[in-house]
Amino acid sequence: MNARPEPRELLYEGKAKQVFACDDADVVIVRYKDDATAFNAQKRGTVSDKGVVNNAVSAMLYGELEAFGVPTHFVEQLGARDQLVRRVTIVPVEVIVRNRAAGTFAKRYGVDEGLELDPVVVEWCYKSDPLGDPPMNTATAVALGLADEAQLEAMFDYAADVNDYLGARFAVAGLELVDFKLEFGIDAAGELRLADEISPDTCRLWDAETGEKLDKDRFRRDLGGVEEAYQEVWKRLRDTQGRDLELPEDDFDLDHVHLDDGDDDAALGAALPRPGAHDA
């Protein structure tokens, strides 16, 4: 029988979580904190029991995503704030999936929050706090050696599956999935896995009836009721666990945004010949 994994050395302390080594080098314990930050940590605070909610939400959704066929880092929930996950080397490319315009996207392009996006927009950002996680295209990610094309394509496909699943999953809970951020990592066996967390810190979730924001924007924008919103998301997910989901019929198909449909290697644009002098 395996002993219950215990947290050993603190490997990393981030803004929202601590990561501890275990005796088994292939796994780590992630401890969810109540600390909240926004705008690249320029705004700081705490949200009472946020760590408990985010751990519970993340554990539930990763278990469900794994069952849906997306390889994830999740192993098991260990307690109110702790979960055991496979240790991965994080790919420094954050994946943002946008079903509607909101936040920085709405600001960047001067459109109203809530504008429906067709096709769904997938963005890469360079995971770098000092640089403020700048957006980049596929060629940039490859040229900077942050990920190779095959990894980016796999991340793209998994992100699409995650969007299909989570869109339906939040819908049965009366929530609309507006946008979210994912991180991926490579495990000890070299396999790409969905890592980090999925929670109201990393997703924009609007009440399906009223449009009320039930996510970190309540903290970012001083809307009040932050704790209550996080609790509400957890309660709705818990109360709807196991319900039948209405998954989209068509696979989320991004062929139409590929730059060269005919050639899989060029699918994300990364393998296109380098443009000449007109390169901006």
Ligand X SMILES: Nc1ncnc2c1ncn2[C@@H]1O[C@H](COP(=O)(O)OP(=O)(O)OP(=O)(O)O)[C@@H](O)[C@H]1O
String marking each residue 211-250 x if it binds ligand X according to CB under 6 A: ----------------------------------------
By CB under 6 A, name the one of 29, 194, 195, 268 that touches ligand X: 195
Residue 132, Ramachandran bin (φ over 0: left; ψ between -120 and 50: alpha; else beta): left
For the chain, the three-class secondary structure string (H helix, E strand, C coil) is: CCCCCCCCCEEEECCCEEEEECCCCCEEEEEECCEEEECCCCEEEECCCHHHHHHHHHHHHHHHHHHHCCCECEEEECCCCEEEEECCEECCEEEEEEEECCHHHHHHHCCCCCCEEEEEEEEEEECCHHHCCCEECHHHHHHCCCCCHHHHHHHHHHHHHHHHHHHHHHHHCCEEEEEEEEEEEECCCCCEEEECCCCCCCEEEEECCCCCECCCHHHHCCCCCHHHHHHHHHHHHHHCCCCCCCCCCCCCCCHHHCCCCCCHHHCCCCCCCCCCCCCC
CB of 154 to ligand X, least distance (A): 17
User: Is residue 26 involved in binding ligand X (CB under 6 A)?
Assistant: no
Please state the closest distance from residue 243 (CB atom) to ligand X, in A.
28
176 is an interface residue for ligand X by CB under 6 A: no
Supply the minimum distance, in Å, between the C-beta of residue 127 and ligand X.
Answer: 6
Task: For residue 164, state whether it binds ligand X (rule: CB under 6 A).
Answer: no
Q: With binding defined as CB under 6 A, does residue 147 bind ligand X?
A: no
Letters for 81-120 (x = contact with ligand X by CB under 6 A, - = none) are: ----xxxx-x------------------------------
Q: Which of 31, 50, 73, 218 binds ligand X (CB under 6 A)?
A: 73
Residue 15 or 236: the one with the smaller Cβ distance to ligand X is: 15
87 vs 100, beta carbon nearer ligand X? 87
185 touches ligand X (CB under 6 A): yes
- Select the residue interacting with ligand X from 7, 17, 180, 206 (CB under 6 A): 17
By CB under 6 A, tell whether 173 contacts ligand X.
Answer: no
Choosing from 14, 45, 132, 224, the residue that interacts with ligand X (CB under 6 A) is: 14
What residue number has its CB nearest to ligand X? 14
